[in-house]
Chain A
Amino acid sequence: MIETMLTRSSVRVAIMAVLLGIACFLTYYCHAVLGTGVVFTHLFYIPIILGALWWKRKGLLVAVFLAAVLMLSHVFVRPDVAPYNDLYRSCMFLVVSAVTAMLSEQLAKKEQALRHARDYTRHLLESSPDFHIALDENGVIMGVNEAFEELTGKSRKDMIGASIYDYLPKDPAEKAVVEIFENEVVRDIELTIKTPGKEDSICNLTGTVFSTLEGGPGVYVTGRDISERKKAEADLRNYLQQLEQANLRLQEMDQLKSTFLASMSHELRTPLNSIIGFTGVILMGIAGDINEEQRKQLAMVKSSADHLLSLINDILDISKIEAGKVELSLEEFELVDVAGEVVGSLSPGAGEKGLEVLTEIPEGITLFSDRRRIKQVLMNLVSNAVKFTDQGYVRVAARVSEDDNLEVRVIDTGVGIKNEDMDRIFQPFQQVGPSLTKRCEGTGLGLHLTEKLAGLLKADILAKSEYGKGSEFTFIVPLRYEEQD
């Protein structure tokens, strides 16, 4: 690039020099020797104008330089004549060359801008992923871009001059063209374009009216291949439909599960209710006297039945929480009342084991939550503490934290939990006791359910323990249960 500019520039200098030489020679030599008039002086115009054209802004300098050459040559060649005439002409040259230089520069600029605009437009058109087609009023293709070539698989040479109806379905395309002429702009025309060797492409087109170079009306069409989008849309619709069906089936199954749970609960409980009821009645002696051994054995029956019932209740609770079937019944209540009920019902059992249940529950802590569930959690935590503690005490302490949470700590001096067992305590049927043979009475679901209940109440349960020394469970629950979170 630079090389060609250099050579082009030196060729120009050479031409200028030669022309200048000829002008000098003809002007002064011929004048002196042949006695011809000043007509040849005009020959200086040529290199001056050429110089101005070639070097544009620098043309003025070139003209000044040439005028100086002219004056000098004049002094050397014809010292006898005062150079006024030539001086006057030189000024003329200067003006002419200056104007020429300006005009040519403007012209060049315009040309450059035009070229730039043309290149830009072409670049835009050719790099566009959308295709562009220019048609005359009869539907003859006047121009296309690369995207259309790609779509049809034909070169523009083959397509220009051909009818667009070779590529578009004739009836709808003709209708579209008529519509475009009527409305000037028509968007979202959907047509199938025949693409030999490939599947037909569904295209989305926009047509506008424009006037051709010859002044006739033409149609400018831009468009894109939307086959893939169409296919994706169809796939999506299919998929959604399948999802909906699957969802329906799931709902049906969920319904079945709920019905099953409800009836199972009823069926399992009904006989259990009788067992618990009658053993209770007999143990109370209402049905007549029983001896000590009978009482002892019946008490075992009763305790097993109670255990079975709590197992069923826990399983049902867990299933319902997992199925999202639990509706909280929110109300305002005092912690002191709930904690009192819990401790009150567990204290006798603890007393039998020689344990003391200590409470540090400040008055005036009001909760807005599900009373029954909160009680269930506390009941589980405290009864666990009692269950796993053989001597010492169980302490229940409550306080309100700074971020408006209630924190209830249940601390015991029981067997504690080994570090390696810590992860398992919230899993179902994972009672971790001192040994298998000394397993404590329980469903093995207590903590699992407790954790699930806590989740339901937007609460947390933290556990820490030192093996052999005791455990501490902390129940952290918002003072006010907020529906939306």
Chain B
Amino acid sequence: MKKILIVEDNEINLYLVRFMLEREGYEVIEARDGATGVELAIKEKPELVIMDIQLPDINGLEATRRIRASEADGGIPIVALTSYAMTGDRERALAAGCTGYIEKPIDPENFIAEIEKYL
């Protein structure tokens, strides 16, 4: 069973993403802030990280940089959740080391297909 880490502070979005992923049979672990996200990404070695950009402590970009800078980073795919309104989010996400991005709002019909592109 593939393990996916979700770093997202919003409870409801977290539930939605978790719901869809678990339905597809993935094992989901979650972090509600950037620092925990970095810690889990290194410790749990998930197959994929879904990283929200706006987080309460360090933002998703910084968290991504830290994961990339750590020794445990084995090129793990990190998919950023970017917001349409924030032009530049996508570019910044890629520059910070994200593998790709999914634009919010999440479209349930395509979400799994999008995720599976990176697995």
Residues of A near any B CB (own CB < 8 A): 261-262, 265-266, 269-274, 276-278, 280-281, 284, 286-287, 309, 312-313, 316-317, 320, 326-327, 329
Contact = CB atoms under 8 A, between A and B. Distances in A.
Contacts of B106: 273, 276-277
A320 B85 CA distance: 9
A273 B84 CA distance: 11
Given A286-B20, A327-B88, A277 B13 contact: yes
B87 A274 contact: no
A272 B85 CA distance: 14
Interface string B3-43: 00000001011001001100100000000000000000000
B109 interface: yes
B54 interface: yes
Interface residues of B, number: 21
B32 to A, nearest CB: 14
Contacts, number: 59
The 4 closest A-B pairs by CB, nearest first: A280-B108, A273-B105, A265-B85, A274-B12
Nearest to A305: B105
A313 to B, nearest CB: 6
Best-buried of A277, A316, A317 by chain B (most CB within 10 Å): A277
A270 B13 contact: yes
Contacts of B16: 274, 277-278, 281
7 contacts: A265-B85, A271-B12, A273-B104, A277-B16, A284-B109, A320-B87, A329-B91
A313 B84 contact: yes
A145 B104 CA distance: 82
B86 interface: yes
A269 B87 contact: no
A187 B68 CA distance: 69
B71 interface: no
A438 to B, nearest CB: 30
Contacts of B107: 276, 280
Given A270-B10, A277-B108, 10 more contacts: A270-B13, A277-B105, A278-B16, A280-B108, A281-B20, A286-B23, A286-B108, A316-B85, A317-B85, A327-B87
B83 interface: yes
A326 B88 CA distance: 10
Given A265-B86, A273-B104, A327-B87, A280 B13 contact: no
User: Which label, helix, strand, loop or mixed, suits the secondary structure of the A interface?
Assistant: helix
Interface string B85-119: 11110010000000000001111110000000000
A277 B12 CA distance: 10
Contacts of A277: 13, 16, 105-106, 108
B109 A280 contact: yes
Contacts of B20: 281, 286
Nearest to B12: A274
Given A266-B54, A270-B13, A274-B16, A281 B108 contact: yes
A277 B86 CA distance: 20
Contact of A272 (B19, B87, B105, B109): B105
B83 A269 contact: yes
Contacts of A284: 108-109
Contacts of A271: 12
A272 B106 CA distance: 10
A283 B36 CA distance: 34
A272 B10 CA distance: 12
A266 B59 CA distance: 14
B19 to A, nearest CB: 7
Given A273-B105, A280-B108, A327-B88, A266 B83 contact: yes
Nearest to B107: A280
Contacts of B10: 270, 274
A327 B88 CA distance: 8
B85 A273 contact: no
A106 B115 CA distance: 111
Nearest to A287: B19
Given A266-B83, A284-B109, A273 B91 contact: no
B91 A269 contact: no
Contact of B104 (A269, A317, A326): A269
Given A273-B106, A277-B13, A262 B19 contact: no
Contacts of A274: 10, 12-13, 16
B88 A276 contact: no
B51 to A, nearest CB: 16
Given A284-B108, A284-B109, A329-B91, A269 B19 contact: no
Contact of A269 (B23, B85, B108, B109): B85
